[in-house]
Structure 1
Amino acid sequence: MRDGAAYDEIADWYEAEFLPQRALAEDELEVARTLRLLLGPGDGPCLEIGCGTGVYAEQVRALGRSPIGVDLSAGMLRYARDRLPTVWADAGRLPVSDGTLPAVVAVMVHTDMPGYAAVLREAARVLAPGGVFVHVGVHPCFCGGFADRTDRNAVLIRPGYRDSNWTKESWTDRGIRDKVGATHWPLSELLQMFLDAGLTFERFAEGGSPTPIVLAARARRSG
């Protein structure tokens, strides 16, 4: 996970200004629909990797599961603690025993984690037999420093999609990426990380229109 200091610096802005603005766009992202489709109803703990301020806890709880959050930003966790139980930890070294969790999710955070391959290995490690991992993230084909989404009906894709990199370049100055940056992987690299971590895909979903904003996947530990 990227150093939590960058998110510590924007935590108050994120809670007071960005979240109210983001709430208006949640239907556009279709995160709630995607979690219902891919995570689905269940019980027991569900670990949210990179929980931030815990804004998705209610959506996990609505499925009958008990959300627990882990994040590296103490500033973000100050707000998250009012929404779900939390642990301050690096997602690449989860303080969780092997094979113990029925569900793990990572929601709109993989671009914050340059070591996402290690995070996926950790997710696979802590999953119980039959457990499910759900990834919900920005769509690598249509979101990134190379994509200008000023006109949602005509997304402009510049050269750069094929480059794996970190950047603060963003089409808007009202979001997060121009403040803390983002890591991008082409679709093929991102999907390969799951396979290398020992995760087997079961289902995919996309969210947002007319051009997808979100790409999501459900996977289980192989073997």
Structure 2
Amino acid sequence: MPNSTPATPATPPAYDAIADWYETEFLAAQGDADPIGINAALAALLGAAPEGPGPACLEIGCGTGAHAAAVRALGWTPVGVDLSSGMLAYAAGRLPVARADAEHLPIGTGSLDAVIAVMVHTDMPGYARVVAEAARILRPGGRFVHVGVHPCFCGGFADRGDPAATVIRPGYLDAGRWTTDSWTSNGVRDKVGATHWPLPDLLHMVADAGLVLERFAEGGTPVPITFSLRASKPEL
């Protein structure tokens, strides 16, 4: 695998260009399975909605709305924002959506009970600002759930070509490195690139936003593919 080199982060048109492939090939290949534990993480960390009419749960970077059904099954009312109009064209049939910048959400302060970000932090070089926005729009006691590729075992430095083992090369410590390097041509990174943040940096983003880290989960085998966390906004 070649060494990563600095480059310009992926922009919304990149996802516009792959929206059809993402919906009809990438997602279709997964079927109803949960191979990397995304639905399991949402069930464990987002959890059931409070009793009564389903409160809104905002998904930041909702893409084609692939996770809306899992959120709805937990009793929440999913809503989503994304920058890619191509992805939102598919998402609109699954949940209410708006085109918006995740770093400047058009949502009032302290207005939501839950915010999730699923498999998007590597698409957002300014993820620290995104988490800060999530914290801003949460009500006291509200929960933020992050589900993303595992920073320790996934990235341009990780070769997952052998199903029985993951080979880790230098590069994990390169915070903020953007790359299209990938061990497979069947994924997203080689098409739109990804920004890497080591685990401490990712956790610091949540803590620096004033959220309280509560629970964690890993998904995928034999070496974890996803790392997830739940954090809450302190009560007044």
TM above 0.5, yes or no, is yes
Query: Per-residue deviation at 1:66?
Result: 0.2
Aligned alpha-carbon RMSD (Å)? 1.2
Q: What's the CA shift string for 1:65-117, capped at 9, x where partnerless? A: 00001000000000000000001000000000000000000011110000000
Partner of 1:36: 43
2: CA distance, partners of 1:125 / 1:138: 24
1:180 aligns with 2:184: no
- Determine the C-alpha separation between the residues in 2 that align with 1:199 and 1:219: 6
Distance 2:31 2:218 in 1: 19
The number of aligned residues is 222
The structure, 1 or 2, with the larger RCO (C-alpha pairs under 8 Å, 6+ apart) is 2
CA distance in 1, matches of 2:10, 2:48: 31
What is the rounded CA distance, in whole Å, between the counterparts of 1:177 and 1:28 in structure 2?
A: 18
- The match for 1:195 among 203, 207, 213 is 207
Q: 1:65-214 counterparts in 2 under 5 A?
A: 65-164=76-175, 165-214=177-226
Q: Which AA in structure 1 matches 2:12?
A: G
Structure 2 contact 10–194 (Cα < 8 Å) conserved: no
Distance 1:32 1:194 in 2: 21
The match for 1:6 is 14
Shift of 1:2: 5.1
- TM-score in terms of structure 2 length: 0.91
Superposition TM-score, scaled by structure 1 size: 0.97
* Separation in structure 1 between the aligned mates of residue 163 and residue 31 of structure 2, nearest angstrom: 18
Find the aligned partners of 1:34 and 1:51 in 2 and give their Cα distance.
16
Conserved in 2, the CA contact under 8 Å of 1:69 and 1:84? yes
* 1:117-171 CA distance string (max 9 Å, x none): 0000000000011111000000000000000001121100011010020000001
Q: Deviations over 1:189-220 (max 9, x none)?
A: 11111111111101001111111001000001
2:218 counterpart of 1:218: no
SS of equivalent to 1:13: helix
Deviations 1:42-80 (A, max 9, x none): 030000000000000000000000000100000000000
Alpha-carbon distance in structure 2 between the residues aligned to 1:192 and 1:176: 26
Superposition misfits of 4+ residues, deviation over 2 angstroms: none
Q: Could you tell me which amino acid in structure 1 is paired with residue 186 of structure 2?
A: R
Gaps of 5+ in 1: none
